[in-house]
Amino acid sequence: MNDLESAEKIAIDIEKLERNLKQVAHITFEGSEKEVYDRAIDYKNDSKYYLEKEDIRTAFGCIEYSHGLLDALRMIHGLI
């Protein structure tokens, strides 16, 4: 495991994702966008779960994937 996959970094990434989720809270996602949003939430929750289980590598993968999904939605809606 490297420094990028530390429990501390993952916790920071989860907080960052939660701030980014607030940025899209006013948007009503429908259809495929809703599915992408729901998956981003699921992967965030999975990251928290695996972090609690001390499976750092899986927690890292989940939160990074969640960021990617949410960033795609933020790009589509002109937020980044």
pLDDT(1) > 60: no
Joined together, the tokens standing for residue 42 give 């699921």
Q: Would residue 2 count as lying in a domain?
A: no
Kindly state the average pLDDT of the residues 56-70.
96
Helix or strand run (H / E) with residue 42: helix 31-52
Q: Which residue, chain included where needed, has tokens 């990074």?
A: 64
pLDDT at 38: 98
Q: Domain range holding 35?
A: 7-18+29-77
Domain membership of residue 58 (yes or no) is: yes
Q: What is the CATH number of the domain that holds 52?
A: 1.20.1270.90
Counting beta carbons within 10 angstroms of the beta carbon of residue 57, is it exposed (0 to 12), middle (13 to 18) or buried (19 or more)? exposed
Q: How many domains does the chain contain in total?
A: 1
Q: Is residue 38 part of a domain?
A: yes
How far apart CA 20 and CA 52 sit, in angstroms, is 22
Whether this model's pTM surpasses 0.85:
yes
Asked if pLDDT for residue 2 goes beyond 60, the answer is no
